[in-house]
Structure 1
């Protein structure tokens, strides 16, 4: 009996939470026709992007990971020095900025020559922070190699393995690193989409953002250089070091790249109206990397906008005036992450999206994830998270001595009513009425469930009693029959 009761109670709680938190499985307002939503999905159109001369290009929204524009995004290409974004990211994730980096003979003699460098000497020492500024601003190849050796514990190949492992972790599928600085190598390739994924991870790091957003930096004297070493950012959309013609007011940083095999490559970060975009262009002619990047940024900033999910999502609530949906009542225990955003074309509405609930990333604090799509593209996600409230206090009544949000609102409305404002009096009465209806419905639901459980228990008990009575009757009948047969046998002289 105890096992049965536990099972019934568990099933009841699971069903209540599933219905109360997430509503029905389809994510649309109550009463909305499914066919209408399918029609919306078919009508949803992604804006047509501009023409660019780059061989490959991607624009990705940093907050959602949504690709807003792509051209030949998955073809592996030589990345040149934008490789150093991954080198810098791994150094920041695995080391402290004040660690001392030693320059080996390999770092100095095999990574300078005709390549970009800042003329470091054998056995020179610099802090990791100084090296990273040299890597990202001046694209110093010898600094990149020295950092790779340092992070790999003296083992350069170990660092290359770390680069490929990190790429796989980030979901890169058309990438293989074979060096830390992007010098030409047939086995060193990255696709534009993968480079955007790597850059998105890097821009999450505050120190990375600071470095790539720095226009000028100075390395103080070292054990091999008596004079300071000035560094200038070579990205022309943020720095006027090579002229002002390509400056872009929304640019917050990036990384340049060029080799004769790769052509011009460029990764750029830009922010406008709360939107952070990542643009990757590869295989560009001289100057084309900047004109393409500007064109793509202007297109995306003009044609897309961000939506905060928690401020716009209401399809899991009953839109009728009673306001008595289960999702509304269960918000004491679950809510949509207040920081979650999705990105949509500027002419689209939040209600034009389709959603589904994903349970792959659930944890103690995450109950599920709302996955949003528009026009067949995923445009963002939002976690449904716990609030920390105790389920035992809900829904059959609030704890004694506490005042709920609705109670506070009612009290404020009542005080407002005392001023003689008739309109506010009507609104207050309607709010109180809706609240009472909602609570009555919950009490009826709770009472119904409890009543159902009691009925099941009574039926179970009656069934067991009937079975016991029946078994006792059968036992008495068998004993009576035996006694009767024995008496007949005795009368016949069988004994």
Structure 2
């Protein structure tokens, strides 16, 4: 009997071990060990950039916002006419292109003279689209002022306030606008980094891209001009209007600037090998703005490479770890955003990056964000997004490890999952949890059923063995009785 009890106990231990294995949370975690991470951190090194003569310079990747090179990028400087990038951006965001812009006396008489202009007249009327081409190609100051008044509803100061509000919204910290066209003003300054942030936002707009990429445009006759007005792009890296010596094959547009106080300023956009780069140089000597911009573009295109995250990320595999619960429900209805990219030095490997999970930008469709870094620099992010598929399983436990008991129904849609995750994040701020799927429950149930079957077989065999022994004992007793009777009969016969 003791042997049977030992066997049953052993069966239950096996079942318990099976439950422990299959019940462990499946999570996704980086597949590199600590020693590998340390080696990668030691090897990670950002390329050394070239020397440029500009007072301030920066080059930023438009897709990720990663700064590939910078020099004195946070010093506020006079921006000159690159200011008009912000003016054009606000006009595109707040108005329709076919709206009619009216030229006031202030727009005409205070913004022409010795400044860049296209000689508009008092009470002249043009469409907003025509004005924006004049602003970005010919740097027309009177058009910039007229657009500012139009967007501000006739209130010029309101437009200036809009410029500063937009700068703050984009994360600019060393910028203050005091006019819409960049004419010299002690209270009108922008840093190279802030100008890159503004330009990055502008290049996202398809109409802005079209305007800055236009080499030549013609304004048709207006109520004040009987002849068309030709416009030529003054940016020498995309237009040969002032010569071909500075043309750059990968340039897709930009904006020039110059005043005696600011020197030469230049914002340029270029595309190559899947990269869209933004270069800002400020405080340059004549011609130096183009030489520096070319040098910086060549350096970045030669030394950096874009990676699609969904096509390259292989480190998040199922493990027995529960440290990272962003991916608890991954297989069912979530994936990495297919368009997410990061940018790295050409000598680096995608797996050289380090990642963290952020829940700061979660929504019904975004479950979390992978934040990638290399050599201490953030090089891009990738959202983990829902696919819209219905889910047939749902975690029993919250990230804190508690078990839900109030709601017995299984919620299968992605929005419920996002809500569960956000609630857990606010309550505990932890990234660990317990999650058991239906498949795991079936495995556990199968293990328990097998254990029960084994116990029944043992019980059946034990009972049969006992019956066998009882029958044998009865046969032995009858045999002994018969044998004794025979002995007694023999003795009586004597």
* Same structural fold, with TM-score higher than 0.5 when normalized by the shorter chain: yes
SS in 2 for 1:36: helix
| 1:443 aligned residue (429, 439, 445) | 439
Give the 3 Å change call, closer, same or farther, for CA 126–448 of structure 1 in structure 2.
same
Equivalent pairs counted in the alignment come to 383
Cα distance in 1 for residues equivalent to 2:373 and 2:284: 32
Distance change (3 Å), C-alpha of 1:448 and 1:131:
same
Alpha carbons of structure 1 residues 332 and 285: separation in structure 2 relative to 1, 3 Å: same
Please give the residue correspondences for 1:15-30 in structure 2 after superposition, counting only pairs within 5 Å. 23-24=28-29, 28-29=30-31
Partner of 1:85: 85
Are the counterparts in 2 of residues 98 and 129 from structure 1 also a CA contact under 8 Å? Answer: yes
Q: CA RMSD in A?
A: 2.6
Verify: 1:66 aligned to 2:96, yes or no.
Answer: no
SS of the aligned residue for 1:299 comes to: helix
Deviation at 1:318, TM superposition (A): 4.7
Corresponding position: 1:248 with 2:248: yes
Instruction: Look up the match of 1:109.
Output: 109
Show CA shifts across 1:44-95 (max 9, x none): 1000000000000000000000000000000000000000000000000000
Q: Does 1:40 align with 2:45?
A: no
Cα distance in 1 for partners of 2:189, 2:267 equals 15
Q: Look up the match of 2:462.
A: none
TM superposition shift of 1:331: 2.3
- For the residue of structure 1 that corresponds to 2:317, the secondary structure is coil
Residues 56 and 71 in structure 2, CA contact (< 8 A), matched pair in contact too: yes
How far apart are 1:19 and its partner, in Å?
5.9
Query: What is the rounded CA distance, in whole Å, between the counterparts of 2:206 and 2:158 in structure 1?
Result: 26
1:439-490 deviations in whole A, cap 9, x for unaligned? xx973456549999xxxxxxxxxxxxxxxxxxxxxxxxxxxxxxxxxxxxxx
1:194 and 2:194 correspond: yes
Q: Deviations over 1:311-368 (max 9, x none)?
A: 0001102599xxxx99698323110000000000001000000000000000000000
- Return the alpha-carbon distance in structure 2 between the equivalents of residues 286 and 211 of structure 1: 25
Aligned mates of 2:257, 2:445 — CA distance in 1: 66
Distance (Å, rounded) in 2 between the aligned partners of 1:451 and 1:168: 61
**CA distance in 2: counterparts of 1:445 and 1:173, whole angstroms:** 54
Deviations 1:164-192 (A, max 9, x none): 00000000110000000000000000000
User: For residues 450 and 217 of structure 1, do their structure 2 counterparts lie closer, same or farther at Cα, with a shift above 3 Å needed?
Assistant: farther
- 2:98 paired with 1:98: yes
1:386-405 alignment, distance < 5 Å: 386-392=386-392
CA contact (8 A) 1:317 1:326 kept: no
Judged with a 3 Å threshold, the aligned counterparts in structure 2 of structure 1 residues 375 and 442 are, in CA distance, closer, same or farther, namely farther
Distance (whole Å) between structure 2 residues aligned to residue 352 and residue 361 of structure 1: 25
Q: Distance in 2 between matches of 1:131 and 1:66?
A: 33
Alignment of 1:191-270 (within 5 A): 191-270=191-270
- CA distance in 2 between counterparts of 1:142 and 1:53 reads 32
How far apart, in 2, do the equivalents of 1:326 and 1:131 lie?
49
Normalization by structure 2: what TM-score?
Answer: 0.74
Alignment of 1:31-430 (within 5 A): 32-318=32-318, 330-392=330-392
Distance in 1 (alpha carbons) for counterparts of 2:80 and 2:327: 52
CA contact (8 A) 2:167 2:198 kept: yes
Q: Distance in 1 between matches of 2:86 and 2:219?
A: 22
* Conserved 8 A contact 2:326-2:357: no
Deviation per CA, 1:269-292: give whole Å up to 9, x if none: 000011100000000000000000
Mapped partners of 1:169, 1:339: distance in 2: 24
List per-residue Cα deviations over 1:227-271 (Å, max 9, x = no partner): 000000000000000000000000000000000000000000000
Consecutive unaligned residues of structure 2, counting only runs of 5 or more, are: 1-21, 397-436, 449-494
CA distance in 2, matches of 1:330, 1:222: 59
Instruction: Give distance in 2, aligned partners of 1:166 and 1:330.
Output: 37
User: Highest CA radius of gyration, 1 or 2?
Assistant: 2
Change (3 A) 1:449 1:33: farther
**Secondary structure, in 3 states, of the residue corresponding to 1:210?**
helix
Runs of 4+ in 1 over 6 A off after TM superposition: 449-452
Secondary structure of the residue aligned to 2:74 is coil
Structure 1, unaligned runs of 5 or more: 1-15, 397-440, 453-495
Distance, in Å, in 1 between the alignment partners of 2:318 and 2:131 is 57
CA displacement 1:423-448 (0-9 Å, x = unmatched): xxxxxxxxxxxxxxxxxx97345654
CA contact (8 A) 1:267 1:278 kept: yes
Match of residue 429 from structure 2: none
Contact between 2:326 and 2:368, CA under 8 Å: does it hold in 1? no
2:426 match: none
CA distance in 2, matches of 1:136, 1:272: 23
Q: Is the 8 A contact 1:264 1:289 kept in 2?
A: yes
CA contact (8 A) 2:135 2:143 kept: yes
